[in-house]
């Protein structure tokens, strides 16, 4: 199986000012594409040659995992953003956030803190289990919660290449901007599909 860079669900300039077109050109067009290319090269002749990307993320280690997980992570991340995003979630996911974090404000503060305090590069995830319990997980480097049996609902990229052109070393500014473009209806759909 050969993987391809997926099309973005928006034009490259549509997330401005939260994420600039220049950042998308480098982050999506170069970093993401490189992970796709390396994954395709690395899986040739291995047990993962015809596996799905999710299977590779769950079962591989080392270089194959690092590159395949970065493909999966970026597919998920870019697909979770919207020029019409932001605000607060609704319906079932909103009730689950209130149940597990006391309020959306508390959830946002905890998620933002997890992003700001993650040392080095990595990802912050909102995850669930089959019963619908929510949790916030920090993952270093290419870490993905699928690898440990959790179900991702939402992620924020805190690798420097995700924000350095726009915010330099000001990761908290990148985190604040993230909340203006997150696609809550899509995240709510993901949660409803899992919990019924």
DSSP per-residue codes, 74-112 = HHHHHHTB-TT--S---HHHHHHHHHHHSSHHHHHHHHH
How would you classify the pairing of strands 134-140 and 151-157?
unpaired
Q: CATH number for 91-195: choose from 3.30.160.20, 2.40.128.630, 3.55.40.20, 3.40.50.970.
A: 3.55.40.20
How would you classify the pairing of strands 122-128 and 134-140?
antiparallel
**CATH code of domain 21-79:** 1.10.287.990
Find where tokens 């305090």 sit.
117
37's tokens: 């290319």
Q: Residue 147 has what pLDDT? A: 87
The answer to whether the predicted template modeling score (pTM) of the entire model surpasses 0.85 is yes
Q: Residue 73 has what pLDDT? A: 98
Dihedral of alpha carbons 119, 125, 130, 133, sign? positive
Q: Which residues of the chain fall short of a pLDDT of 70? A: none
Helix (DSSP H) and strand (DSSP E) numbers for the chain: 9, 3
Among candidate residues 193, 190, 195, 110, the one with its CA nearest the CA of residue 156: 110
Residue 37: helix, strand or coil by DSSP? helix
Q: Which residues of the chain form CATH 3.55.40.20?
A: 91-195
State the CB neighbour count (10 A cutoff) for residue 21: 12
Count the residues in the chain: 196
How would you classify the pairing of strands 151-157 and 122-128?
antiparallel
Count the alpha carbons within 13 Å of 163 in the hemisphere toward its beta carbon.
23
Q: Edge-to-edge strands of the sheet including 134-140?
A: 134-140, 122-128, 151-157
User: How far is it, in rounded angstroms, from Cα 59 to Cα 149?
Assistant: 11
Find where tokens 């299977």 sit.
55
Q: Are 149 and 171 contacting, i.e. CB atoms less than 8 angstroms apart?
A: no
């Amino acid at each position: 199986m050969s993987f391809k860079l997926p099309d973005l669900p928006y034009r490259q300039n549509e997330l401005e000012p939260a994420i600039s077109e220049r950042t998308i050109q480098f982050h999506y067009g170069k970093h993401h594409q490189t992970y796709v290319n390396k994954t395709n090269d690395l899986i040739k002749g291995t047990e993962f040659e015809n596996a799905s990307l999710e299977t590779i993320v769950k079962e591989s280690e080392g270089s194959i995992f690092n590159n395949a997980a970065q493909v999966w992570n970026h597919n998920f991340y870019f697909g979770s953003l919207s020029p019409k995003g932001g605000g607060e979630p609704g319906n079932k996911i909103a009730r689950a956030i209130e149940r597990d974090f006391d309020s959306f404000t508390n959830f946002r503060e905890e998620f933002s803190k997890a992003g700001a305090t993650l040392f080095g590069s990595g990802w912050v995830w909102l995850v669930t289990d089959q019963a619908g319990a929510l949790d916030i997980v920090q993952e270093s480097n290419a870490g993905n919660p699928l690898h440990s049996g959790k179900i991702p609902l939402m992620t924020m990229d805190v690798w420097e290449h995700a924000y350095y052109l726009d915010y330099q070393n000001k990761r908290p500014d990148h985190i604040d901007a993230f909340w203006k473009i997150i696609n809550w209806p899509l995240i709510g759909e993901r949660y409803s599909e899992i919990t019924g």
